[in-house]
Amino acid sequence: MTPDLNLEADPRFPSGKWVGFFTDRRMPGKHAMDLYLSFAQGIMTGSGRDRVGSFAIHGSYQTGDGLCLWVKQYLGQHAVSYRGFNEGKGIWGTWTLTDQGQTFTGGFHIWPDGMPDPTQPVLREEVDLPSEVEQEELVPMGV
C-alpha cells in the first residue's frame, strides 16, 4: 500500500485513532469519544462514536494557529459544531448545538491515541539539592 502523500506532515495533526471526551452541563462528567481522523491539506474528516451514537466528522484545520472547525454529524440525528485549537496537546475547545430554538454548549478535548491524557495532572519528582558544603563545616567541634 502506498502512503498518502497528501496527509498532514505537522506532528500536531496525525491521521489515525484519536480519543478524548466532551462535557455537557445536562449530563455531568466527562463523556468518552473514540475517533478516526484524517488531516490533509487543511481538511479534517473522520468518524467516531460516543455515548450519543455514531457520527461523521467534516471540517478544517490550520497549521499556522492550530484553529480547528468541524461538524460532528450523528448518523440519522442532529449535528454539533466544534471550534478548537491544537497547541501540541491535542485539540481542545467548545461545541455548540442548536435544537428547536435552544442552544446548548460545552467543552471537549481530543488527542491522538497513545498520548497521555493531557487533562490529567502529571506527577513529577523534585529534589532540593543541598548547597555546596564548605570544608570548614566538616571539621568536628572541639578540634
- pTM, full prediction: 0.81
Beta bridge partners of 37: 16, 46
For residues 99-122, average pLDDT:
91
Which has more confidence, 80 or 126? 80
Q: What pLDDT does residue 117 have?
A: 86
How many Cβ atoms from other residues are within 10 Å of residue 127's Cβ? Answer: 5
> How many whole angstroms separate alpha carbon 29 and alpha carbon 49?
17
Q: What pLDDT does residue 120 have?
A: 82
Residue 60: C-alpha distances to residues 7, 21, 35, 72, 112 (Å): 13, 20, 16, 12, 17
Contact predicate 120/111, CB 8 Å: no
Contact predicate 64/40, CB 8 Å: no
Q: What is the pLDDT of residues 27-78, one digit of tens each?
A: 999 999 999 999 999 999 999 999 999 999 999 999 999 999 999 999 999 9
Q: What is the pLDDT of residues 6-17, one digit of tens each?
A: 899 999 999 999
> How many whole angstroms separate alpha carbon 66 and alpha carbon 27?
29
